[in-house]
Amino acid sequence: MQLTMLLALSYDVGPANNARTSVARTVSRAISPVAVESWFDGGMRLNGADTLTELKEDLAELMNSKNCGPIMIRLSWHDAGVYSTGKLTGGCPNAAMRFADGGEGAFGANAGLPDVAVGLLAPIAEKYAGKISNADLWALAANVGIEEMGGPSIPTRFGRTDAASSAESVESEQGRLPDGDKGLDHLREIFYPKGFDDKAIVALSGAHTVGSCHADRSGFDGKWTEDELRFDNSYFIEMLKKEYVLGEASPGNPQYEHAKSGTIMLISDLALLEDDAYKTHVERYAADEAAYFADFTAAWVQLQENGVAGLRDRL
């Protein structure tokens, strides 16, 4: 069954989960555009800094009101993750999933993304039409979601071009996106042609610290960690501490389960413990969240920018 490392990341609609966010937004609105332009995004002066500030605020409000950070991570990952330089070549983040008549919008691996994730972003995409491409918006939404859930602040560069039709999709998800029911050799076969080493594979896998699997999308059931809306290093901690038993999701697909907490791990998750080249990073990230955040940020930015050139820091 085709599914990806981040395939099943989803969300549960619920109340805002970060009370501090509203205070920060109130403060930011009280600051003049000149002041914002001088310090926003680490002091970098941006064209349209006030627009970018407002856009990020709108995205943060969406993440906290709908608890949809995890599915935005999945949207960005599946948009960019088709890139490859191996047996299959090409692919880039171009928001081709917007088109449901075929191509990436019809991939089984992308179930739930064209309707749920793109649908949630539709009002914001319409509000900022002509100011940001859909592909850039998807990348930015994921990065805002990560930060709103407690994760690292990830820089976003701009300039991705949107596909004009489904014809600009890659030919298939097969060989481009990893299967959750396969092991280490498969992970390397998928990720090495994208320019990632074993450390980066482990770091990217750590995004499973948020979200959950849904049988109607991935064929698996359950969340990886006990707090699926908190972006931290719990994925690695729980992987090392818990004992999982091989079971089955409701469609009959194999998955590892922890009975007491109800959390799961996929075959591709626990495969990270089978080789010291991977396990050493699992152990390091479990012990040092800051190290995990640093390595995840580097790998994630590379993933989001693979296959595109000429990106800019300014919106």
Q: Tokens 């109340």 map to which residue?
A: 15
The pLDDT of residue 49 is 86
Q: Where are the domains of the chain?
A: 19-168, 184-305
40 close to 215: Cβ distance less than 8 angstroms: no
Kindly report, residue by residue over 144-163, the tens digit of the pLDDT: 999 999 999 999 999 999 99
Kindly report, residue by residue over 48-71, the tens digit of the pLDDT: 789 999 999 999 999 999 999 999
| pTM for the full predicted model | 0.86
pLDDT band at 47 (very low <50, low <70, confident <90, very high): low
pLDDT above 60 (res 20): no
pLDDT above 70 (res 42): no
pLDDT above 50 (res 35): no
Q: Tokens 């996929």 map to which residue?
A: 266
Asked, colleague to colleague, whether 19-168 and 184-305 share their fold, the answer is no
Kindly report, residue by residue over 196-244, the tens digit of the pLDDT: 999 999 999 999 999 999 999 999 999 999 999 999 999 999 999 999 9
Kindly report, residue by residue over 99-134, the tens digit of the pLDDT: 999 999 999 999 999 999 999 999 999 999 999 999
Q: What DSSP assignment string belongs to 98-125?
A: G-TTSGGGG-GGGTTIIIIIHHHHHHHH
The pLDDT of residue 18 is 47
104 close to 132: Cβ distance less than 8 angstroms: no
Output the CATH code of domain 184-305: 1.10.420.10
Q: Is 208 a catalytic residue?
A: no
- The active-site residue, picked from 78, 208, 214, 258, is 78
Kindly report, residue by residue over 249-291, the tens digit of the pLDDT: 989 999 999 999 999 999 999 999 999 999 999 999 999 999 9
> Right CATH number for 19-168 from 3.20.20.80, 1.10.520.10, 1.20.210.10, 1.10.1740.10?
1.10.520.10
The pLDDT of residue 200 is 98
> Which residues lie closer than 8 Å to 284 by C-beta, 6 or more apart?
291, 292
pLDDT: is 126 or 12 the higher one?
126
pLDDT cut 70: percent of the chain above it: 85
